[in-house]
């Protein structure tokens, strides 16, 4: 859903970016530092041939994983990640934030608690959306996060997840931001899928707006976050064949928002990615495919790697 603590989507002011830079971005192994963007091409996604992932099979689309009842307390920090092999991203830290939690719906009182987000107050967290077939967004988010972690670790990055099935609910959106801040992350990506109307298709990357107040100050992260998001958008297109959103961002694949605590409270470069619309049958067919999820993780990994390598 549009996200992380948001209400149902409404189209927002388009982000104006150069289409020529997008084409260059898609044709290269990584986007340059000139602010290239995703190719603006509305219409059905071209999925191509999916390749089954070598990772363990994700949960069945008909149900979501249930965290262990021996989970850490809601305020417990993420466990220390294992050492990564040496590689081009050695010495870099990436925080992956899988949106929501499969068990949030069992803890409505806790996730409805209001927290400060810089521009006001919002719920601690929300339940997220699901496909019409019952595949929960939270399960999708965690599955893609695991695949992304594997890809980044193979390049030598230290990877931290904001949660990994080890909590009964949450974390709250303000804590998700603090985890990236405390890790001094070089990049943070929050994984999501949207819950919009049928016919609304495609992905979009959400960038932080300029926000100052209530403990939030994004002045130092707006520019690098845009660079990170632009690279992810372009390389997500190349990896998945999906088109930028036809209902958010003016077909650029990018959207700027100031109502998300996870972005407002971040002090390190951070973006959200809405990988598709779970409520559209065509997008849902992609999101429930393990092969497509692997492609999605690869596109995000490529974007992060391009950003970190400069």
As a whole number, the mean pLDDT across the chain is 82
Domain of 185, CATH number, reads 3.40.630.40
Positions marked active-site: 274
- State the pLDDT confidence band at 85, using cuts at 50, 70 and 90: confident
In a domain, 131, yes or no: yes
Cis previous bond, 179, omega within 30? no
Please report where in the chains the tokens 């979501």 appear, as a residue.
Answer: 64
How does pLDDT run across 64-78, given as a tens digit for each residue?
A: 444 433 333 344 556
Mapped onto helix, strand or coil, the DSSP state of residue 212 is: strand
Q: CA 204 to CA 207: how far, in whole Å?
A: 10
Q: Please report the pLDDT score of residue 13 as a whole number.
A: 39
In a domain, 59, yes or no: no
In a domain, 75, yes or no: no
In a domain, 240, yes or no: yes
User: 31 pLDDT exceeds 80?
Assistant: no
304 in Cβ contact with 187 (< 8 Å): yes
In a domain, 296, yes or no: yes
User: 89 pLDDT exceeds 50?
Assistant: yes
More confident residue, 3 or 254: 254
How does pLDDT run across 106-141, given as a tens digit for each residue?
A: 999 999 999 999 999 999 999 999 999 999 999 999
- Name, in order, each residue with C-beta under 8 angstroms of 68's C-beta and a sequence gap of 6 or more: 165, 166
In a domain, 76, yes or no: no
In a domain, 61, yes or no: no
**What is residue 211's DSSP assignment?**
-
In a domain, 8, yes or no: no
User: 156 pLDDT exceeds 90?
Assistant: yes
- State the pLDDT confidence band at 5, using cuts at 50, 70 and 90: very low
Which residue range is the domain that position 275 belongs to? 19-39+81-309
Q: Read off φ and ψ for residue 96, nearest 5 degrees.
A: -105, 130
Q: Please report the pLDDT score of residue 80 as a whole number.
A: 61
């Amino acid at each position: 859903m549009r996200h992380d603590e948001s209400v149902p989507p409404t189209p927002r002011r388009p982000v104006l970016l150069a289409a020529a830079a997008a084409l260059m971005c898609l044709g290269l192994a990584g986007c340059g530092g000139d602010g290239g963007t995703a190719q603006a091409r509305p219409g059905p996604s071209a999925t191509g041939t999916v390749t089954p992932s070598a990772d363990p099979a994700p949960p069945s689309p008909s149900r979501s994983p249930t965290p262990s009842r021996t989970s850490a307390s809601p305020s417990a920090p993420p466990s220390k990640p294992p050492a990564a092999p040496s590689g081009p991203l050695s010495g870099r830290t990436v925080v992956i934030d899988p949106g929501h939690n499969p068990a949030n719906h069992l803890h409505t009182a806790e996730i409805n608690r209001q927290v400060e987000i810089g521009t006001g107050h919002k719920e601690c967290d929300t339940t997220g959306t699901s496909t019409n077939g019952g595949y929960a967004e939270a399960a999708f988010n965690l599955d893609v996060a695991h695949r992304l972690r594997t890809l980044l670790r193979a390049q030598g990055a230290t990877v931290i997840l904001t949660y990994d099935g080890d909590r009964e609910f949450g974390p709250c959106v303000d804590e998700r931001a603090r985890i990236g801040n405390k890790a001094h992350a070089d990049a943070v990506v929050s994984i999501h899928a949207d819950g919009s109307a049928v016919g609304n298709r495609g992905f979009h990357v959400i960038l932080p707006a300029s926000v100052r107040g209530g403990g939030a100050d994004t002045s130092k992260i707006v520019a690098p976050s845009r660079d990170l998001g632009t690279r992810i958008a372009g390389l997500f297109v190349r990896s998945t064949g999906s088109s930028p959103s036809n209902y958010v961002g003016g077909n650029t694949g990018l959207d700027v928002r100031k109502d998300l605590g996870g972005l407002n409270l971040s002090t390190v470069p951070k973006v959200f990615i809405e990988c598709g619309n779970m409520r559209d049958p065509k997008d849902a067919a992609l999101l429930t495919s393990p092969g497509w999820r692997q492609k999605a993780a690869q596109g995000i990994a490529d974007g992060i790697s391009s950003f970190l390598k400069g």
